[in-house]
Amino acid sequence: MLKAMSDEAAISQSVHLLRHGQVENPRNILYGRQPGWKLSERGHEMAKAVAAWSKELSLGAIHASPLERAQQTAAPIAAQHGLVIKTDENLIEAENIFEGKPFDVSGAIKRPATWRHLWNPWRPSWGEPYKVQVSRMSKAVNDARLAADGKDALLVSHQLPIWIMRSSIEGRSFLHDPRKRQCTLASVTSIHFDESGKVLGLTYSEPAAHLLPDNKK
């Protein structure tokens, strides 16, 4: 449970934000919005695990980021429910100035050459403003909720946009340690609504937890 819900019986509809599965990335490249980054074999297994988990859902819409890893993650879920994937640019990964380079948070902090990009972690200064991410993710959630016509919707996106959307709903600061985001590979952050469209709360689950590499949990 992420945010207490006043009455579970009042839940009318849910929008499930799914992070894509594992990508083959041995050099630890921050791939960002670059094309060509696809799911690894384990990533495909993660997508299948989420599809199996989703059998209990009544889905009316499946939307996905245009990036290959998101489209591939959505594919078995769409097949499970007989739905066509709608591509939504608002679900895309956040822009990042370090895109295409080997990157880790600890290393970046220690390298003076990167400091000019790290001066404002509240905005952040190294990439797409958090407020812009919230705005586009909110639109994606609302569009999918309406498209689902009373049923649930599932959206495949990326870790940072999902985390920032969650932080906005929970009323928490956008300032955070990226290593401590509760948004593992193929995890689901579910936003629950009442009949009027008001957010009742959120829940978090890891349908593919058994497939997570130890260092990605």
Strands 13-19 and 152-157: parallel
The CA–CA distances, whole Å, from 214 to 60, 186, 207 equal 34, 14, 16
Task: For the beta carbon of residue 37, count every other beta carbon within 10 angstroms.
Answer: 17
Q: Do 21 and 38 meet the contact criterion of CB atoms below 8 Å apart? A: no
The CATH class of the 8-216 domain is alpha beta
Query: What does the block give as tokens for 36?
Result: 């060509």
Residues (pLDDT < 70) of the chain are 1-9, 103-126, 215-217
Q: Provide the Cα torsion 27, 47, 93, 148; round to 10°.
A: 180
pLDDT of residue 126: 60
Q: What is the pLDDT of residue 212?
A: 95
* Angle between helices 68-81 and 41-53 in degrees, nearest 10: 40
Instruction: Please give the distance of CA 85 from its chain centroid, rounded to a whole number.
Output: 16
Residue 110's pLDDT is 47
Residues ≥6 apart with Cβ < 8 Å to 206: 184, 186, 187, 188, 212
d(CA 36, CA 94): 16
Q: What is the pLDDT of residue 4?
A: 47
Domain ranges of the chain: 8-216
Q: What is the pLDDT of residue 98?
A: 73
Q: What is the pLDDT of residues 7-61, one digit of tens each?
A: 555 899 999 999 999 999 988 888 989 999 999 999 999 999 999 999 999 999 9
pLDDT at 101: 74
Q: Rounded to two decimals, what is the model's pTM?
A: 0.88
Neighbours of 162 (CB within 10 A): 24
